[in-house]
Chains A and B, each alone.
Chain A
């Protein structure tokens, strides 16, 4: 189990977290919180993190030359290839370890961080290849549901109805029409993987999944909902709260898939309507002003309901039946 927050504070009183101050992410951005939680968990367990980053907000805002907000080894290669890049790093580690060229007592943890663009879209092939090859790495998706680094363009993760600059809410078309890809199932389909969802508002759940990922003998994937306060058009102080609401509305169910076995890690006793999540964000404002707004919300509600039922059924069906 992860350390309680107060205990973590003690551990990190005089210890580097791995990401430092002086980065240039927006005020209230959830991505640096995610990185902190992930790296603190690894470091508290005695791992030496090595970080790869896909091009994106987190990348440009943390490494403006000559400044770096990283105090762990870090590599950014390009947008679409963080998984391939970290697989090269991890393979180098195995080769050099075998050759006795690096200290045997060091516990390395290889992380690839990427946004949804670098994961769902342009980086999907590289991710799939690295998962299939079975590299021991942890891929952390900070999902802000759009190309936020470049000013709010649509991605394969943008939810329907969200206003983006490349799928704007227009007079004819109500913003993005398509549902998000189910990235966790795509990843879980590689079978010999650990895949899980998490949110900053449930830190113990998140950090225990990082722990599992670290211990898992193979590739691991964490999909973490990471609000973009700027383009979700919301109060920047509420970036944590909204992820709690995402769980409570079934928008972002918390579960994990370990070698094909599904387990829901948070089952709220009652749920809130998905409209509460939607109405908290300005990116849905224009679609909510449309005459067919109720219908659009109902479709989203139906979807999250069905997906929840399906998750429950999968949990039941896959219990004690790992696929590998």
Chain B
């Protein structure tokens, strides 16, 4: 393993730095708070000649994703980044990128959707794309942003997958917060990601292909079935790629990160930066003798159902924290966890807490409160509760 290089950087800089080392052929992006620093850093790398990437300073997120689709279909390694309403503006093409099986990697700096206008973190932007056919990874900190971006390239481009990946980081909390990040040497990253092997590139004029045909009731369904299969393959491929990444970095990734789970009876499940805060509370409660634990979700799409079942079956209670809502239905992560536990031999008591919308702070007191509700068995499976909300 190469010698360690640790730098104090923001999540946005970690994202841009990983991109710099990956050095995609094309980056098309439009600035939007809080994603803007990623684009700014990258534009500077390009301007300074530190990367050979061609950057397309598009006029909207819609065109960002459209250009990325064009570039990736042409045979280039292409990346982009966005947030919130920018992602929502891309929505149509987000689906197209996945359905064309283009191995694009995109940073999503999570931010609340309008209205009212809000620039702070929640997961409603990414959750609105959860059925788009993209792989979704959620990062707890800047280190994970850096690592998972590099890992995402290999996952996306794997021949059994060929699907785009969204690497999510919490807006401002991670994107603008400075933390130490251990960086890998350029050549190690370059060797890890390797060269893109384009499949059916448009620029191969000797083998002309047609992208984006009209696909009616006699074939469309079959093409969707292929996408379903590719998503299933992610469950096989991800551990292999994670293992290879471990070899170069010493850092282990999986679908989920169990924290003090061995004998835990009361378990919290969450996405993103809140997991770090939960770890702090778990430590604190453990010191007081409570058997609590955390199951951090790294991969939300495809949803690692078997892993969830393995870790949660037989626990006394499971508390699911969602930083987004599904109006008129259960919150997305909770719904998925609840559904996964339907077949469990021994189902835990379940509780759903929505928190942090529009950047509302989530602190250890609130997490402790949620754990206490679980430990007092005051959870009602069909009753959504809210952390940090004024009644």
Contacts and interface: CB of A to CB of B under 8 A. Distances in A.
| Direct touch of chains A and B (CB < 8 A) | yes
Contacts of B215: 65
A63 B213 contact: yes
B373 interface: no
A198 B267 CA distance: 69
A272 interface: no
Contact of A96 (B62, B73, B75, B219): B75
A22 to B, nearest CB: 13
B210 A93 contact: no
A71 B208 contact: yes
A133 B56 contact: yes
Contacts of A95: 25-26, 52-54, 71, 76
Contacts of B26: 88, 91-92, 95
B79 to A, nearest CB: 12
A20 B153 CA distance: 37
B210 A63 contact: yes
B388 interface: no
B73 A89 contact: yes
A247 B127 CA distance: 53
Nearest to B60: A125
A60 B212 CA distance: 10
A84 B63 contact: yes
Contacts of A132: 59
A77 interface: yes
Contacts of A68: 210, 213
A144 interface: no
Interface string B120-158: 000000000000000000000000000000000000000
A216 interface: no
Q: Indicate the size class of the contact surface on chain A.
A: 35 or more
Interface string B198-214: 00001111001111111
A94 to B, nearest CB: 5
A87 B60 CA distance: 13
Interface string B56-69: 11111011101111
A85 interface: yes
Contacts of B25: 92, 95-96, 99
Interface string B171-194: 000000000000000000000000
Nearest to B222: A65
Contact of A93 (B63, B69, B78, B203): B203
B43 interface: no
Interface in B62-104: 62-64, 66-76, 78, 92-93, 96
B28 interface: yes
A72 B212 CA distance: 14
A92 B62 contact: no
A98 interface: yes
Interface of B: 25-26, 28, 52-54, 56-60, 62-64, 66-76, 78, 92-93, 96, 202-205, 208-216, 219
30 contacts: A63-B214, A68-B210, A70-B210, A72-B208, A74-B208, A74-B211, A75-B70, A75-B202, A75-B212, A84-B62, A87-B58, A88-B26, A88-B66, A88-B71, A88-B73, A90-B70, A91-B70, A95-B53, A96-B74, A96-B76, A98-B52, A99-B52, A101-B75, A108-B203, A125-B59, A126-B60, A126-B66, A128-B59, A133-B56, A133-B57
Nearest 5 interchain pairs by C-beta: A88-B70, A129-B59, A88-B67, A76-B212, A92-B74
